[in-house]
């Protein structure tokens, strides 16, 4: 896991400094990378997103966005809150409507921090990232069904949330010029 984190950090530095990514978010993205790598592995193996790893991301995201505002004057607190509410609301809605069967509570708790970071860049980025996460997760569920897996099989959704977030961050709003 340390190799994956190191390689991702190196890619983040290159992306933020050379490819004109959001350099003002680089410290936050380093933290998010370490936590997301751990959460990805834990969710795949044990189908859990532990509170001990999810809850520290809330103050880290607040501090990271505040630092971004101070050094880059990029983003909007209003859109960050909208992104957090969107991600948390959609996953929370799925959790409630499915009575906890269709979405785990760990995913619901984790989603707002991802939505806030994308929302900081743009509310449409938050919406697109969430759609990408559901498209990836739905595609994987379809593959599992076609391969004969039971419809009741549990699929870890955390990695799809992280993938949707990261893809939109890099391919979408993250490459938009600051200012």
- The domain locations on the chain are 2-174
The C-alpha atoms of residue 29 and residue 13 are separated, in whole angstroms, by: 10
How far apart (Å, rounded) are the C-alpha atoms in residues 13 and 44? 27
- State the pLDDT at residue 54: 98
Q: What is the pLDDT of residues 79-93, one digit of tens each?
A: 999 999 999 999 999
Per-residue pLDDT band for 178 (boundaries 50, 70, 90) equals: very low
Confidence (pLDDT) at 177? 46
Q: At what angle do helices 26-46 and 57-72 cross, to 10 degrees?
A: 160
**Does residue 65 carry a pLDDT above 90?**
yes
- Phi then psi for residue 138, to 5 deg, are -65, -40
Question: Mean per-residue pLDDT for 45-58?
Answer: 96
Q: Indicate the pTM of the whole model.
A: 0.89
Residue 164 · residue 129 · CB < 8 Å? yes
Give the model's pLDDT for residue 138: 92
**Pick from 35, 27, 10, 31: which is nearest to 158 by CA?**
35
Element (H, E) at 118: helix 105-121
Q: What percent of the chain has pLDDT over 70?
A: 91
């Amino acid at each position: 896991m340390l190799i994956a984190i190191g390689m991702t950090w190196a890619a983040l530095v290159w992306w933020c400094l050379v490819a004109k990514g959001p350099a003002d978010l680089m410290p936050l993205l380093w933290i998010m990378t370490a936590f997301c790598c751990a959460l990805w592995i834990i969710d795949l193996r044990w189908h859990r997103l532990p509170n001990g790893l999810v809850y520290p991301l809330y103050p880290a995201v607040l501090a990271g966005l505040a630092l971004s505002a101070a050094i880059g004057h990029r983003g909007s607190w209003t859109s960050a809150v909208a992104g957090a509410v969107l991600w948390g609301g959609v996953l929370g809605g799925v959790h409630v409507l499915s009575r906890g069967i269709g979405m785990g509570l760990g995913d619901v708790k984790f989603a707002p921090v991802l939505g806030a970071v994308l929302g900081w860049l743009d509310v449409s980025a938050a919406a697109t990232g969430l759609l990408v996460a559901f498209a990836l997760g739905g595609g994987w569920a379809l593959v599992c069904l076609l391969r004969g897996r039971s419809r009741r099989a549990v699929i870890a959704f955390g990695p799809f949330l992280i993938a949707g977030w990261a893809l939109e961050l890099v391919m979408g709003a993250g490459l938009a010029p600051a200012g």
